[in-house]
Amino acid sequence: MSKVLQISGLAGAILTLFGIVAFFFTRNILDPYVLIHLGLGILGLLAYLTTQGGTLVGSMRLRSTRYGLHSVSYSLLFVGILILLNFLNTRYHYRWDLTEAKVFSLSPQSTKVLGQLNQDLLIYGFFERGENSRIADLIRSYTYHSPRIKFYAIDPDRRPEMAKQFKIQQVNTLHLIYGKESTNLTETTEEAVTNAIVKLTKVSKKNVYFLTGHGEPGMDDRQNSQGYAGAKEALENENYQVKEILLSTQEKVPAETSLLIIAGPQKPLLEHEISALENYLKSGGRLLAMLPSPGGDSLKNILSEWGVVVGDDIVVDQVIRLFAGASLGVEPIAETYSPLHPITREFKERTIFPLVRSIESADSPKGGLEATSLAKTSPTSWAEKDLDGVFKRGKASLGPEDKKGPVSIAVAVTANLKKLGLDRDGDAKIVVVGSAGFANNRFINIFFNRDFFLNAINWLAGQEEMISIRPRSVRSSRVQLTEREGTTVFYLSFLILPEILLIIGLAVWWRRR
């Protein structure tokens, strides 16, 4: 009987300890696990103390008992240190993302956007119970980077009045409030959340016009791989108002134009359009020209006046294919960027430029023109002059008239209007890319083409604070557990299994003793 009572004291201590630990994490005294462990544990301790109290006092005088108490003291000290470290971690914490793709980190653009918040951003998440873990982890990344983010998880079944107030139509919806602006968000990815924050925080939209009327691919064409629907969507996500302009029917570029895009014209511009374009630039306009492969384009002469040399060539590079060796390709990859220009100062990612021609800055530009090469192809590439050989015979070789790589394929120009002899202050800005296809539906989401495109847009539009690397649309794959499944995993891994191991270990020790 005495052995049973002694074991009851040991078991009571273990049960009480795990009951307290479970209550610390669940904060629910009525939890069955907590109730059972605390109840049985306290009964076991009371039974031991009421029957073995004298034996306990006597054993305190034994040397073995004193050694045991020392061990217990050190154990309690260790547990106390862990508790202190956990407390400090909740107050002063830092996160390390050790995954190769940084899937648990926010993108540079997201952190940049959060740093520009000047008032609190309220985020209400409407989720069914147990369905908000992934989204909560994402929003927790935002709150980590900015104290301005305030997140509230709402169960629409328990708070239907809030769901009605914010016009929530479905679960797993975020409602964002910034000042007087608000929006609902059903796509709960980092890209979608950051884009929503951008739209809420920007007070006005800038107008971006795509030039039409010369066989350019459509900006609303999603079916054609050559279309620019993906580029338009990316611009709208950055809070730009995107429109088309038929300049041949207008006297000049509209005054409200923040930026004009000329993307892959297949026919020459009319003299009237050329004149309107020149006047637009001389009045401080902003132009992004994405040129088609060499042909009878009319932009070459205009751009030369602004310090840009457009090559009548096609850039060819070696392509290494598994089991096939090296071959020639006309979709070169750029890996070298100017560290001096705002567009590419912090840009170190790969971009691909299909059917790209050389674009260089003039050797002796006019006074007031500052031209910078933004991107260059690899040293194994060259600018091929024999276009018939490339497009008709599928052959190319580096000849004496060709430009050896690295080849410049994009140039940015800042033009000081006063220094150019024009009677006005300010400047004009131009970005010229030798490929019309790098931002089309097929290529805009390959590598970091979208970031290069949008960074050029933001520089031209005077929004350099938006130049960054944007969120990737695909994040890590994760197992989604219901609340019941998550609770089961917690109890099994954190409480029950350690408890069983402790009981077995103490039982073996008691038997040997």
Measured in degrees and rounded to the nearest 5, phi and psi for residue 243 equal: -140, 170
Tell me what pLDDT residue 83 has. 57
Lowest mean pLDDT among 43-47, 235-239, 252-256: 43-47
pLDDT band at 480 (very low <50, low <70, confident <90, very high): very low
Question: Considering only 12-16, 93-97, 341-345, which range has the smallest mean pLDDT?
Answer: 93-97
**pLDDT (0 to 100) of residue 323:** 41
CA distance linking residue 28 with residue 34, whole number of Å = 8
> What pLDDT, on the 0 to 100 scale, is given for residue 477?
44
Contacts (Cβ under 8 Å, ≥6 apart) of 86 = none
Q: Residue 487 pLDDT > 90, yes or no?
A: no
Q: Kindly report, residue by residue over 400-428, the tens digit of the pLDDT.
A: 999 998 999 999 999 999 999 998 999 99
Residue 478 has pLDDT above 50, yes or no: no
pLDDT at 341: 97
Quote the mean pLDDT of the chain: 84
* pLDDT tens per residue, range 275-290: 999 999 999 999 999 9
Nearest of 177, 169, 128, 173 to residue 149 by alpha carbon: 177
Which residues on adjacent β-strands are paired with residue 356?
none
pLDDT on residue 41: 82
Asked if residue 89 has pLDDT above 80, the reply is no
Q: Is the pLDDT of residue 47 over 50?
A: yes
81-114 in b/e form (b: 16+ CB < 10 A) is: eeeeeeeeeeeeeeeeeeeeeeebbbbebbbbbb
| Predicted local confidence at residue 472, as pLDDT | 63
Percent of the chain with pLDDT over 70: 80
pLDDT band at 34 (very low <50, low <70, confident <90, very high): confident
Cα Rg for the chain, rounded, in angstroms?
Answer: 34
Q: How far apart are the first and last CA of the chain?
A: 17
Length of the chain: 513
Q: Which amino acid is at 86?
A: N
**For 206-466, which CATH class?**
alpha beta
| pLDDT top residue among 381 and 294 | 381
Tell me the pLDDT band of 7, cut-offs 50, 70 and 90: low
* Model pLDDT, residue 6: 61
pLDDT of 258 reads: 96
Q: What share of the chain is helix, strand, coil (3-state, %, to 5)?
A: 40, 20, 40
User: pLDDT tens digit string along 386-395?
Assistant: 998 888 888 8
pLDDT at residue 224 above 70?
yes
Gap between the Cα atoms of 484 and 29, Å rounded: 18
- Provide the percentage of residues in the chain whose pLDDT is more than 90: 53
Burial class (CB in 10 A: 0-12, 13-18, 19+), 247: buried
- Per-domain residue ranges for the chain? 2-94, 108-197, 206-466
Q: Which CATH class is domain 108-197?
A: alpha beta
pLDDT tens-digit series, residues 434-456: 999 999 999 999 999 999 999 99
pLDDT at 327 over 90: no
pLDDT of residue 269: 94
Tokens of 11: 């078991």
C-alpha 212: how far from its chain's center? Answer: 32
User: How many other C-beta atoms are found inside a 10 Å radius of the C-beta of residue 271?
Assistant: 9
